[in-house]
Amino acid sequence: MKYVDEYRNAELARKLVDEIHRITTRPWALMEVCGGQTHTLVKQGIDEALPAGVRMIHGPGCPVCVTPLEQIDKALAIAARPDVIFTSYGDMLRVPGSTTDLLSLKARGADVRIVYSPLDAVRIAAANPDREVVFFAIGFETTAPANAMAVAQAARLGLGNFTVLVSHVLVPPAMTAILESPTCQVQAFLAAGHVCAVMGWTEYEPIAERYHVPIVVTGFEPLDLLEGILMAIRQLEAGRAVVENQYARAVKREGNRAAQETVFRVFDVGERTWRGIGTIPASGYHLRSEFARFDAEARFDVGDIHTKEHPACIAGQILQGTKTPLDCTAYGVLCSPQKPLGAPMVSAEGVCSAYHAAGRGLAAPTAFPLYDLTRSLREAIK
């Protein structure tokens, strides 16, 4: 397939791995920000093909995983109401709340529907004027333009029965929080290409300069990641710390200005709580005052819900990169994709699900060998 197969070329992957080995003279710790990048690294065995001492730290870039538990419980409280049609992307349905999840709630009769666009939820609201329709608006900057567009469209249509439960988070403040942590071991970042396709990379330049940390905007295919790792290590070996763009086929420095204008027409920036990490200032989007009538938290009065994580789950430490799934005593025992304790095990971008699908640390192979199709590439780079 055009623009996919050529970024999975085993011969080119081997050359990139060889070059990484050639230039590396000391141990380095790099963090890939996005969960999609994590899955490719683990799926292809890229992290295991790197030189001894070069370590990939898996970052908090899974929007499902960092959605706080109390926000899941707010969604459950709203979805349980008989007058509500609760809409969401499919990856949120099995994320566990304190007592249940949206899929189980649906099985018990709640009107929970999977949509493929927030505009689908707007259409559902227009077709059901006697019901309250709520869309679960989660994600990083990547999904914010479409969610903002949905709110703006509902306003234009005068829909009084449409609201959004917002849990948008922003990448640069999280990177700063990681770098300022006393336990930080990160020496370079692979920034998420899709986030930068929307926002550009000007926000990352002050971070690179202030903390003297290389940042490479990177794509998601195996060759993207290998090239991004190579570019980051070249900077580290040379003592440089700037923002570079590996994902040039999709990202410009200024990003997508039209998308940014749509976002800032509807959302303001404010503090946001990240699951397992805590509250980070200026790290999330909130509805602007002129769109406050579309705020599901206010309409359904669920703002005071507070929760505690399962005591066996170390998702917070995993999301901060200080632990891996293999450090978790519940991994593969109490916690599995079929019965997850935390979001990183159930999310399509979660690091725990990536490890489990690849069979890492499990006594027996996983029931679903999802990655056999990529065996030739994994073998080529080892």
What does the pLDDT look like over 2-12, one tens digit per residue?
667 788 899 99
| Tokens describing residue 56 | 């990939």
Same domain, 331 and 206: no
Q: Which structural domain range is residue 58 located in?
A: 1-311
Same domain, 218 and 271: yes
Secondary structure of residue 160 in the 3-state scheme: coil
Residues 283 and 102: their CA atoms lie apart, in Å, by: 26
Same domain, 304 and 373: no
**Number of domains, the chain:** 2
Distance from CA of residue 185 to its chain's centroid? 20
| Spatial CA neighbour of 144 closest among 60, 269, 44, 231 | 269
Same domain, 226 and 334: no
Handedness of CA 240, 241, 247, 253 (dihedral sign): negative
Handedness of CA 263, 264, 265, 267 (dihedral sign): positive
Residues 47 and 36: their CA atoms lie apart, in Å, by: 14
Residue 121 maps to which CATH number? 3.40.50.11740
Same domain, 228 and 163: yes
Same domain, 189 and 138: yes
The amino acid occupying position 184 is C
Same domain, 327 and 257: no
Same domain, 17 and 153: yes
pLDDT of residue 165: 97
pLDDT of residue 19: 98
pLDDT of residue 321: 83
Residues 109 and 375: their CA atoms lie apart, in Å, by: 42
| Tokens describing residue 301 | 């009065």
Domain boundary among 311, 335, 361: 311
Element containing residue 337 per DSSP (H, E): none
Domain boundary among 295, 311, 327: 311
Tally of CB atoms within 10 A around 267: 22
Same domain, 215 and 353: no
Same domain, 292 and 361: no
Same domain, 293 and 348: no
Give the DSSP letter of residue 60: E
Domain boundary among 265, 294, 311: 311
Mark the ranges of the chain whose per-residue pLDDT is less than 50.
1, 365-374
Residues in a beta bridge with 189: 31, 215
Same domain, 372 and 244: no
